[in-house]
Amino acid sequence: MICDILFSAGNNLSLSSVNSSDTGSDSWSEQGSDTSTSAGPQTVNATGTLIAGATVNSGNSVSASSVNSFTAAGTVSGTGTTSSSDSYSDSGGDTWSTSQQGVYAGYSYSYGTVVLQGGGTYSGTFQAGTTDTFDGCSTDDSNDSVQVIGSNGSAGFNADSNSALASASSNETQTIQSTAISSMTQTGNGSYSFYQSGSYSGGSYALASVSDFSGGNDSYSGTASSTSSDTFSGSDSSSSFEGGNDGFSGEANSVSGSGSGTFSGTETITSNATISGGDSYSLTALGCYSNGSYALSSYVSSSSDSMGINGQETDASSGTWSATGSFSGSSSNGGSANVSYQSDGGTYSTGVSDGSDSSDSGAFSETVNATDTTVTTLAETFTESLYQAGVYSAGSFALSSVVYNASSTASSTSRENDTFAATDTTAGSDSSTDSHTGAPGAMNSQAASDSSPYTGQDTVTGGDRPV
């Protein structure tokens, strides 16, 4: 501060010229980073057993019983690993200056010229990334069986009996591998400035010119990708039997079948996605300051932000299923009786019997090969902006213009391409025999038999392809 000193009556200090100025600046920066990794085994076991039975007894020697048994077990085991890292870097700075010129008298300063001005900037960056992996396998096993036994009547003419048994088992093994990677980067920067000029007297400022500006923008971008593969294989088997006797007709029948199958395949899913966006803002104020309040003749504020997302997922799978089996069935019925007839003046009696037997047996096989690929894409955008302009006085805004705009777009596609080929083969035979034994003459003994072998094959191919 530079002063010219004058002394007046009463030893009061008077400064005819006072000049003061002040300038300064500062800067700052900071940065850091962090990483972490975790890994460990993961195991899940599940088992279940269900056994149910029922028995029914009623009058006339009618009884029935059933037993149902089901067991299942599954295990998923593997190792999961997660690693992540992040880092940041921020920096900025400020400058300012003041200049005041005037006098000092009556124990107070009076500045005819006052200038206050300054500004600053800042910027920052943040980055983060994560990687997740899993490598494991799973097994699933199950067994199911049902048995039913029933009877009606105690013996002889009214005695019926039947039984049925069915069982099935399956097992599946899967190998699972997956990787997911994501990353994000954010940046931002901004600045501000101010300028004020006027005078100072009576303990308050009168600033004829005031201008303030602030503005900045932020942006972000990120990526995400994942890959998972699943290789599976397994087998299924089943068998069944049903048979019984009819006490009234003497018919006996039975049907049995068995089958087994194997399957194997792979599925791979890959996905990629990107996201980007940002925002910006600016504020400009021009006016004056007096009597403890601002009066802004021009106030302009604007802001905008945007976002965009793009993604694609591909699901590709292929598999082979094969099955073989056999079946057989048989039935028989017949009866006999004593009949009397006259011949050559005499009366005779003889036994008459009829019988019929049939059987059916065969084998089958099936093989199916299939592939399927599905590609799904997604794209979205969004933008919005706000503009405001007007004046400020007496503690309130009067906005002469306010404009808001917003827009968005979204689109998605899905394209599928699948093919399949199936081959079925069958081979078997049907046979039957009939017999009759009777009295001499018109009721001679007779017998007949028939056998019909058959084979067949069907092949079907097809697919759906995008246009």
pTM: 0.72
The whole-number pLDDT of residue 56 equals 65
The whole-number pLDDT of residue 442 equals 46
The whole-number pLDDT of residue 242 equals 80
The whole-number pLDDT of residue 162 equals 74
Domain boundaries, the chain: 40-98+121-464
Mean pLDDT, 10 residues at a time, over the chain (467 residues)?
49 82 95 93 85 68 74 89 96 96 90 96 96 91 81 54 82 91 95 96 92 96 93 88 66 78 90 95 96 93 96 92 82 65 66 71 87 94 97 93 96 90 85 67 61 83 69
The whole-number pLDDT of residue 392 equals 95
The whole-number pLDDT of residue 87 equals 97
The whole-number pLDDT of residue 342 equals 63
The whole-number pLDDT of residue 59 equals 57
Determine the Cα–Cα distance for residues 315 and 270; give it in Å rounded to an integer.
7
The whole-number pLDDT of residue 227 equals 93
The whole-number pLDDT of residue 43 equals 86
